[in-house]
Amino acid sequence: MTPSAPLRFPAARASGAARSDAGFGAELLDGLNAQPRSISPKFFYDAAGSRLFDAICELPEYYPTRTELAILRSHAGEIAQRIGPDAEIVEFGAGSLRKVRLLLDALDAPRRFVPIDISGEHLESAAHDLRAEYPQLAVQPVVADYTRPFDLPPLLAGSRRRVGFFPGSTLGNFTPDEALNFLRGAAHVLRGGGLLLGVDLVKDPALLHAAYNDAQGVTARFNLNLLQRANAELGADFDVQDGFFHTAFYNAPHQRIEMHLVSRRTQTVRLLGQPLQFAEGETIHTENSHKFTVEGLRALALRAGFGIGPVWIDPQRLFSVHWLPAAQ
């Protein structure tokens, strides 16, 4: 791995309708003109959506964040030994940068932290706070959509290896083919290092239902914020208050939670000058959250070119954190 040139990350391209490089509006229109209708979950994370997701992570029903944090806290020393000294950490979908602090505190002389996120405003604010807490650490945020190819900065002089950090079971938002493509890209750019990957485990559907249909309605507001964002940024006229409602359910054959927005009535919405007709009960599919078995995730990692390392699991077997070494 040369330190003199940036690396291109050949990330997973979304499946389904053809995607345009024109951004949010074009992709949204593509997805809403498809059958069934869909919106990519990457568009949840404008500034308001990022704040709502941070609130979701604190909900009593939402076990993934606190469980993954507990795993990282309990096994930080072992994880740091696997990563080794003088490492450069690259976090995909960095968000609020809460979890990486547990790694940084345990690592031996980390050289640089490169957080990647689609929400530039939220990322810059989180990176600013991290720099203040870790003044000896180089922090270089990259505003990018990691479901599309993007450039990573050259490996910093003195860094021994590049290690990826992909917590939160965000891998579960991809289709199986997209997850494989993402991991193949990660194995390429992280060669000689590895990937620390958090994934949610298959479990009782009642626990999953509660986690995605919280009593305070925060997840519903998070889901509906997609439509509010379309109104604010694209001049669409979605009736966010009374036109749609949130639903989430476990699709057992596919081992995934599905989130949808459901049209309350027959209605017409205008987006970028185009009328979109919705039938009563018609849905917009906004997110999948696939759940994994340890064996299934390891098989996927091997297909992508990673090796198999240790896995850390909480006592209730709700969540797992995997160390996946990348070949040279």
What is the pLDDT, as a whole number, of residue 23?
85
CA distances from 195 to 113, 166, 214, 241 (A): 14, 7, 31, 41
What is the pLDDT, as a whole number, of residue 22?
47
Contact of 64 with 207, CB cutoff 8 Å: no
For the chain, which ranges sit under pLDDT 70?
1-7, 11-22
What is the pLDDT, as a whole number, of residue 122?
82
What is the pLDDT, as a whole number, of residue 5?
52
What is the pLDDT, as a whole number, of residue 17?
32
Reported in sequence order, the residue ranges of the chain that DSSP labels E, i.e. its strands, are: 7-9, 37-38, 87-92, 112-117, 138-139, 142-143, 150-152, 161-166, 194-200, 244-251, 256-263, 267-271, 274-278, 283-290, 311-313, 319-325
What is the pLDDT, as a whole number, of residue 116?
94
What is the pLDDT, as a whole number, of residue 18?
32
The rounded distance, in Å, linking the Cα atoms of 199 and 185 is: 18
Contact of 246 with 224, CB cutoff 8 Å: yes
